[in-house]
A and B are shown apart, each in its own frame.
Chain A
C-alpha cells in the first residue's frame, strides 16, 4: 500500500526526516512513535501530499506523492493534530461538503454521511453546529471527515492528543473499529496507547527510523527484559518450589503483602508468563494477579532512541 524509499525532508538547514525507508501493507495499522520533533508529523504530511520531500520517493498504491498527488489524495483521509473544521457549519452539512470535494457522487453523499456519523457515533450531533461541540466530539468529527469518502488509507496525526481519559478510551475504540476496512497510519508519543492500537510500530528519533516491528520485536531488538509482578496467596516455600521449575528467570524477589498475600517480582529475558503461572498454580498457590510492568515500554523507547542518539 505504502512504499517509502530513502526519504529525506529538510527545512532549510534542519533535517526533519533522514533517509527513511519502509513499507506498509494494505490493511495494516501502523503507529509512528517518537518524541516531539522526531519527524512524525512531517512524514505524515508528506504521505498526505501536504509537503514535498527533499529527496527519496513515497508511493501510495503505486502512485507517487510528488508526480501524481491528485491520485494519491483520492486514496487518503487525513486528520491533522488539530481537526480541520469549519466551526460555523453543522456536522452533517460539513461532512456532506467534505464528501463532495472528495469526489463522492451526489447521490451517494447522504448515505456516506450517515455511515460516517454512525461509525463515529455522531448521529445525535448531526444537526449541531461544530462550534458548540466539545474537543472530544470535534476530534470525532475530524475522524468522520477523514473516512466519509471511504478511503483505503487513513492518516491520523496524534489522534488522542488533548483528550481526557474518557475520551481517550472512546477514541481508542473508534480507531480499533476502523482497522480492517482501512490501512491506518497514526502517530503518537504515548507509547502504551499506540502499542494497544497498532499492529506494528515505527520508532522515529530525530528524523531517523530507529526501530520497526511489533512491540515484542522492538523490545527484543533493544535487549528488553520481561518484568513481571505476581500477587499470590499461599506459603513462601511453595513459591520457591515453583520458581525452581521455571527456566530463564534472571532475578526474583518475594515480599509479604498483608497477612497471607505475597508479591513476587520476576525479571527474565524470555516471556515466561505462561510457564510461571502454570507452575505456581500447580504448586497449590492461589494466583490472584499476574501482570507485566507496562511502563517498561517507555524504558525500551528511551533506551532505543538514547542508544541511537549516542551512536550518532
Chain B
C-alpha cells in the first residue's frame, strides 16, 4: 500500500508542478463563486436551507464537469510522454497504478472542493443551517465527483490523447446524467432501472437536502468500483496487444 500512497502523492503534487492544476483550481473556484453570487444568492428571499441546497446543486454540476478535466491526463499523459513503462515495469499491479492515480486526483478534487466551504459557511453564520447539512452536502458532492473521476480515469486509460480522453469521459458521463430523463418517460420497469442508473438526480438529491442514505453511498461506490475496474482491465489489455 505504501507504493500506492507514493503514486497518489506524486500525482497530487504533479497538479501543482504544472499550470494545469492551477488553471483548473482557479477556473473552478471562480465559476463556483460567481455562480454562488448570481444564481444561488439571487432570486428573492429564500430559506437558508434552500440556499444551501441550491449551492450544493450548482456545486455538484461544476464538480462533475471539472472532474473530467482533472482526470483526463491521469493515464493518457503517461502514455503521451512515454513514462508508462516506469510504472508498468515496477512491481505495482495495474490495479495499484489505477488506484494510486485515482486517489491523487481525488485528493486534488477534495482540496479544491474544500476551498468552496466559505460560501455555505456564510449562510451558516448569517442564517440557520446545521453543520450536518453541510457535511451531507459535501459528502454527496465528493461521492459524485469521485464517481465522475472514476469515469474520467477510465476515459484516460482508453487513449493516449488527453483530448480524446475528455470526449470519452463526456460520452459516458452525459448519458449517465441523462438517464433521469429516460427514467421519467420510459415505461415500467425500465423507468426504475434508468432512474437508478442516473448518476445525479435520484442519488444526489438527498445529500443536498442534508440526508445521507446508505443506498446512495453504495451506488456511488459501485460506479467508482466499476469504472476503476474497467480502467484496470484496459491497462491489462495493452500488454496483450
Query: Quick check: B91 and A103 within 8 Å, CB to CB?
Result: yes
Query: Quick check: B85 and A78 within 8 Å, CB to CB?
Result: yes
User: B1-49: which residues lie under 8 A (CB-CB) from chain A?
Assistant: 2-3, 6-7, 10, 14, 17-18
Which residues of chain A are within 8 angstroms of B81 by Cβ–Cβ distance?
A: 87
Query: Quick check: B240 and A101 within 8 Å, CB to CB?
Result: no
Q: Type the 1/0 row for B191-203, where 1 means its CB is closer than 8 Å to any CB of A.
A: 0000000000000
Best-surrounded residue of A49, A85, A86, A101 (most CB of chain B within 10 A): A101
Which residues of chain A are within 8 angstroms of B83 by Cβ–Cβ distance?
A: 84-86
Chain B interface mostly helix, strand, loop or mixed?
Answer: helix
Interface size on B, residues (CB 8 A): 24
Which residues of chain B are within 8 angstroms of A70 by Cβ–Cβ distance?
A: 91, 93
Query: Quick check: A102 and B10 within 8 Å, CB to CB?
Result: no
Bound state CA distance, A147 and B130, in angstroms? 56
Interface size on A, residues (CB 8 A): 27
Query: A103 contacts which of B3, B86, B88 (Cβ < 8 Å)?
Result: B3
Query: Quick check: B93 and A97 within 8 Å, CB to CB?
Result: no
Bound state CA distance, A236 and B84, in angstroms? 64
Query: Quick check: B91 and A73 within 8 Å, CB to CB?
Result: yes
| Residue A52 at the chain B interface, CB threshold 8 Å | yes
| Residue B87 at the chain A interface, CB threshold 8 Å | yes
A101-B90 CB under 8 A given contacts A52-B239, A52-B240, A88-B18? yes
| Residue A213 at the chain B interface, CB threshold 8 Å | no
Query: B91 contacts which of A50, A102, A106 (Cβ < 8 Å)?
Result: A102
Which residues of chain A are within 8 angstroms of B88 by Cβ–Cβ distance?
A: 49-50
Bound state CA distance, A97 and B7, in angstroms? 8
Query: Quick check: B86 and A98 within 8 Å, CB to CB?
Result: yes
A106-B2 CB under 8 A given contacts A49-B239, A52-B239? yes
User: A98-116: which residues lie under 8 A (CB-CB) from chain B?
Assistant: 98, 100-103, 106
| Residue A185 at the chain B interface, CB threshold 8 Å | no
Query: B92 contacts which of A48, A86, A101 (Cβ < 8 Å)?
Result: A101
Which residues of chain A are within 8 angstroms of B89 by Cβ–Cβ distance?
A: 48-50, 73, 76, 78
Bound state CA distance, A145 and B88, in angstroms? 14
| Residue A299 at the chain B interface, CB threshold 8 Å | no
Query: Quick check: A101 and B6 within 8 Å, CB to CB?
Result: yes
Find the A residue at minimum CB distance from B93. A70
User: A61-93: which residues lie under 8 A (CB-CB) from chain B?
Assistant: 70, 73-74, 76, 78, 80, 82, 84-89
Find the A residue at minimum CB distance from B90. A101
Bound state CA distance, A199 and B209, in angstroms? 72
Give me 26 A-to-B residue pairs in the complex whose CB atoms sit less than 8 angstroms apart, sorted by A's number: A11-B241, A49-B89, A49-B239, A50-B85, A51-B239, A51-B241, A52-B240, A70-B93, A73-B90, A74-B91, A78-B85, A78-B89, A80-B82, A84-B84, A84-B85, A84-B86, A85-B86, A86-B10, A86-B83, A88-B17, A101-B92, A102-B90, A102-B91, A103-B91, A106-B2, A145-B86
User: What residues of chain B have their CB less than 8 Å away from a CB belonging to chain A?
Assistant: 2-3, 6-7, 10, 14, 17-18, 81-93, 239-241
Other CB < 8 Å A-B pairs besides A86-B83, A101-B7, 7 of them?
Answer: A51-B241, A52-B240, A76-B89, A82-B82, A87-B81, A98-B86, A101-B92
